[in-house]
Amino acid sequence: MEKELFKKIDTYKQTVIDLQTNMIALPAVSPHSDGEGENAKAAYLMSFLKQMKFDELYLINIKDPKAKDGVRPNIVAKYYGQNRKKTLWVMAHMDIVPPGDLSLWKTDPFKAVVKGDKIYGRGSEDNHQGVVSGILAAKALMDCGVRPPCNFALLLNADEELGSEYGICAIIKKYGKIFGKEDAFLVPDGGNPEGTMVEIAEKNMLWVKFTVSGTQTHASTPHSGINAHRVAAYLAVKLDDLYKKFNKKDKLFAPESGSTFEPTKREANVPNVNSIPGTDVFYLDCRILPCYKNADVLAEIAKIVKAVEKQHKAKIKMEVVINDLSRPTDKKEAVVQLTLQAVKAVYKNKPTLVGVGGGTVGAYFRNAGYPAVVSSKLYEVAHQPNEFSSIKNTLGDAKVFAMVSMNFK
């Protein structure tokens, strides 16, 4: 049956082009990034999906006063399997990022251009490829008259690019009953050009803001003040002690196999060179292995801050900006093993289980208690000028999803 499904998917090349062409022309930029949201794109996709044989098809509209029509649409499309109590979900997102500097684009970012295997346009890879591959997997099941062992469902979300407040976060919180205890999720929104990446874990994320308060004075009389910039610089270096304290390694997260603690953004202090700043603000980005607790890292940071305050006679305020935990998916879960098998069969490669330092929507599902796999064959050109997707990769990912669905019992 899988061979028949694969042959059918191979006939969908023009469908890939048509879907991409129409979606690229409907830029779903967040209203919080000066766009209108996903309404137009969702309307187009709903019109396409209505022509298919889904047993359930509906919108979950999340209120957002800034969006066109005041809502951010999310699409649920479910094709029943033999066991209706169990669902394999393919989750992809409709929103995109703005095109950025137009002078860096060789084509119109909102007009699809097909060159061989590549389709150029903003959103083509992030995340239209995932949307299309999910649709094509469902279409192949329907066209071949196959009811898989479980339900096969699409979850096409809004707001992934800016944190999913109006997407999966709201759905899990307000409409979580649509998910069953035995459900699992495939998220085609991360991968590599070889197609070998099968991501099952993410590091915990912790962002901390430090506001150092000293005493502003003239740069020629430093004895009369406390240089907040110098104290902040000293603190930033002392925070490297976190690497020594939380020093475990996990090869799942290679090449960054350990936790990371990096000072990043600095806010402007004084506008002139000849003033010693009385206030200096910087941020620390921590990506922490799941074996550690964010609370323990915060406690250690507080100790370092207290010591620096005492040594430099400055005041330092700590503020937690982001504090996100991420439960890993057990590698023994059926969806994990089936994804490894399907990727190997379709792409003739050697897929590897990995963990990542960045955040994906997979974490929301995992933290809600569901197994989730993030995997796709991508060129990794998301957010770049001249973004493109591969037709072959889109068809290949559709085969992976179809194969997993046929074995998810």
* Catalytic residue ranges: 95, 160
Measured CA to CA, the distance from residue 110 to residue 2 in angstroms comes to 36
Measured CA to CA, the distance from residue 307 to residue 231 in angstroms comes to 11
Q: Is 170 helix (H, G, I), strand (E, B) or coil?
A: helix
Which H or E element spans position 383? none
Measured CA to CA, the distance from residue 100 to residue 156 in angstroms comes to 24
CB 121 within 8 A of CB 20: yes
Tell me the C-alpha to C-alpha distance, in Å, between residue 74 and each of 38, 46, 152, 166, 175.
9, 10, 17, 9, 11
Radius of gyration for the chain, computed over Cα atoms and rounded to the nearest angstrom: 24
Burial of 68 (0-12, 13-18, 19+ CB in 10 A): middle
Q: How do strand 83-93 and strand 150-157 relate by DSSP bridges?
A: parallel
Measured CA to CA, the distance from residue 110 to residue 393 in angstroms comes to 21
User: Which residues, in sequence order, are bridge partners of residue 298?
Assistant: none
Q: Where are the alpha helices (DSSP H) in 55-160?
A: 129-143
Q: What are the structure tokens assigned to 121, written together?
A: 């346009």
Measured CA to CA, the distance from residue 43 to residue 54 in angstroms comes to 16
CA-based torsion, 183, 188, 190, 191: positive or negative? positive
Q: How do strand 184-187 and strand 83-93 relate by DSSP bridges?
A: parallel
